[in-house]
Amino acid sequence: MDLPAPMPRDPDPGTTTGLIDAGPASTARTPATGTTPGTPWTTPDGGTAARLAVEEAEAARARAEARAETRERLMYSGRLPMRTGPYLTGTAGRRRLGGLDAARGLALVGMMAVHMTSSTCGLTTLPGVLHQAHGRSSILFAVIAGFSLGIISGGREPHRGDRLVRTRLRVLARSAMLLVIAGLTALLGTSVSIILGFYAAWLALALPFLRWRPRRLLVLAAVTALVGKAVVIALPALLTALGMSPYPVMVDGNAALVDFFVIGTYPGMVWMSFIFLGLGLSRLDWSRSRNLWRLVAVGAACAVAGYAGGWAASETVPGALPNSFHIVSPADPVACTTQASSSAVLSSSQWSDAVGSDGSAGSSGAARASEPAGASEPAGASEPAGGSGVSGAWPGSDQPVQEPGVLDTLSSIPAALATAAPHSGTPFEALGSAGVAMAVIGLFQLVSRRLRYALAPLAALGSMSLTVYCGHLVAIWVARDVDYLASPAFFLSVTAGLTAFAMLWLIVFARGPLEHLVHVVSVRTTRASS
């Protein structure tokens, strides 16, 4: 006589196995007539309920293993994942922060406006409004980059142990891919200062800080913003005095470290403060609206303090270039300039933009011509005398620019820091623009909770930011023989086209094309190492 199999233990209490439930509903099937308590009842086909339960449990485990195998295969597959959840939630589902995507999309629109339009001061014309994106849009993008780094490393509960090692490997792989993509887009030869390579270096440098607490990260961000610009000014002069050269003699890539962190267009000694800020914010609780409103309030206060402090310092510090503010846009952009300084020295990036190899106006001369000193990147504030160590002549002039000594450079630091002008890198600009970034992130996250689809165009751009950024560079390269700076029409058409593409793409797919490429490379790197 066959003995009945023993009753299995429920592998997951509180769940349904299909035939026998873990709750009171398990009494729905009654024993057959004639059975005694404590003995298995017989089903019409002669089997036992216990045996059927075992088979069902085994089938459930097999289905779970098959689903896990499918998820793993899709994760490492080169095939683009199809959208399965709500629109614009990607592969994260409803946990995705739609407001953060929208803020990233706004930063992209601002960066495209800077690259594809001429600008003026004031707020009564479209070029004047678009000019407000100078500096602020790239800083907003950097803060969100730090925030995203915090999310993929665990958010409020940072990864530890083996999981932290895998996360760091993924970030390193992503940084390597960003360097490759930055090199390829640089081959287009546009006048845009491509920021992707800088991001790659900053993300790699941030890896040792992934386990830091929010308070320490925010303090580190403040200290970096406070001293970063002074280091950028003083270090090249100090190296020169020691008989070394901060500027590459040969273009062979060996000076990349100094370029990324000291003398480049976006020096990491200053911009790492925004990465640390975003990373610190990602470790806080943003599930409550009260905390988001606090973020907006703190951001607004920082913006007012930074810009007002920069204006006051520019009016009082001797030798500083006064910041000019206009409400009404003038007919002639030259009127935006309150003062020109003929004794200031251009930074290496400004010099290459302003002067070509033959001494003529550089590739972005048209853009700079409509962006006078004091409006966006005043020479005296962005790189003070002695900050760059560039020798040569001013555009259109035979007067040589002499490289000052260390003492002259150090003495020029107070005047150089007394401004909040875009891309000046001063503590005032860092405080003001970081405040704007915090306020935008908080406001957009609040709006996305109630009116998620109202931000859909910006969120679509932000969900595939790498693809959109590279796309606008390709558009500039295609229009290289067209005077697209003469009218905002080119910027508006490119922005509209990329927005429509992103929104349509994300209807079908869960991830952008370049985003998926970077994702696959990073996860396969982690898989090979485990």
Cβ atoms of residues 264 and 129 within 8 Å: no
Cβ 232 vs Cβ 269: under 8 Å: yes
CA distance 530 to 522: 13
Q: Say which residues have a Cβ less than 8 Å from residue 345's Cβ, sequence separation at least 6.
A: 379, 383, 384, 385, 386, 387, 388, 390, 401
**pLDDT confidence of residue 404:** 63
Residue that the structure tokens 């199809």 belong to: 82
Give the helix/strand (H/E) hosting 392: strand 392-393
Give the span between the Cα atoms of 473 and 257, in whole angstroms.
24
Report the distance separating Cα 496 and Cα 508, nearest Å: 19
Q: What is the distance between the alpha carbons of residues 194 and 29, in angstroms, rounded to a whole number? A: 69
Backbone phi, psi, residue 84, to 5°: -120, -25
**Residue matched to tokens 């969100």:** 144
Q: List the pLDDT tens digit at each of the 530 positions of the chain.
A: 444 444 444 444 433 333 333 333 444 444 444 444 445 445 555 557 777 888 888 888 887 777 666 665 656 667 787 877 777 776 666 778 889 999 999 999 999 999 998 878 888 888 888 888 999 999 999 999 999 999 999 999 999 999 999 999 999 999 999 999 999 999 999 989 999 999 999 999 999 999 999 999 999 999 999 999 999 999 998 988 888 888 877 777 788 889 899 998 999 999 999 999 999 999 999 989 999 999 999 999 999 999 999 999 998 988 888 777 778 887 777 777 643 333 333 333 333 333 333 333 333 333 333 333 333 333 333 333 333 343 444 344 444 445 567 787 888 888 899 999 999 999 999 999 999 999 999 999 999 988 888 999 999 999 999 999 999 999 999 998 888 887 889 999 999 999 999 999 999 998 999 999 999 999 888 875 44
Per-residue pLDDT at 253: 79
User: If we measure between CA atoms, which residue out of 475, 500, 501, 512 comes closest to residue 115?
Assistant: 475
Q: What is the DSSP letter of 356?
A: -
Summarize pLDDT for 412-432 with one digit per residue, the tens: 888 899 999 999 999 999 999
Distance of CA 28 to the CA centre of its chain: 56
Beta bridge partners of 393: 400
Who's near 83: CB < 8 A, 6+ residues apart?
A: 506, 507, 508, 509, 510
Question: Who contacts 420 (Cβ-Cβ below 8 Å, separation ≥6)?
Answer: 306, 307, 309, 310, 311, 314, 323, 426, 428, 429, 432
Phi, psi for 116 (deg, rounded to 5): -120, 10
Torsions phi, psi for 82 (to 5 deg):
-80, 150
Q: Answer for the pair 336, 375: CB distance below 8 angstroms, yes or no.
A: yes
Per-residue pLDDT at 44:
53
Contact 145, 278 (CB under 8 A): yes
| 462 and 101 Cβ atoms separated by less than 8 Å | yes
**Which pLDDT score is estimated for 62?**
80
Delimit the domains of the chain by residue range. 98-324+405-528
Q: What is the pLDDT of residue 357?
A: 34
Distances (CA, A) of 22 to 6, 11, 59, 330: 17, 10, 17, 75
The three-state DSSP-derived secondary structure of 401-417 is ECCCCHHHHHHCHHHHH
Strand ranges, E, within 131-190: none
Joined tokens for residue 147: 């925030």
Entry field: residues in the chain: 530
Using DSSP's 3-state secondary structure scheme, residue 400 falls into strand
Rg of the chain on CA atoms, in Å: 29
pLDDT number for residue 321:
80
* Residue 9 to residue 263: CA distance in whole angstroms: 66
**Which tens digit of pLDDT belongs to each residue from 475-517?**
999 998 888 887 889 999 999 999 999 999 999 998 999 999 9
The pLDDT tens digits of the residues spanning 118-161 come to 878 888 888 888 888 999 999 999 999 999 999 999 999 999 99
* DSSP symbol at 263: I
Residue 337 pLDDT? 62
- What is the C-alpha to C-alpha distance for residues 211 and 160, in angstroms, rounded to an integer? 8
Query: Rounded to whole angstroms, how far apart are CA atoms 58 and 48?
Result: 16
The number of beta carbons lying within 10 Å of the beta carbon of residue 51 is 16
> Phi then psi for 402, rounded to 5 degrees?
-85, 140
Cα→Cα distances 225→107, 233, 275, 373, 456, Å: 20, 14, 11, 23, 33
Spatial distance between the Cα atoms of 490 and 115, rounded to a whole number of angstroms:
11
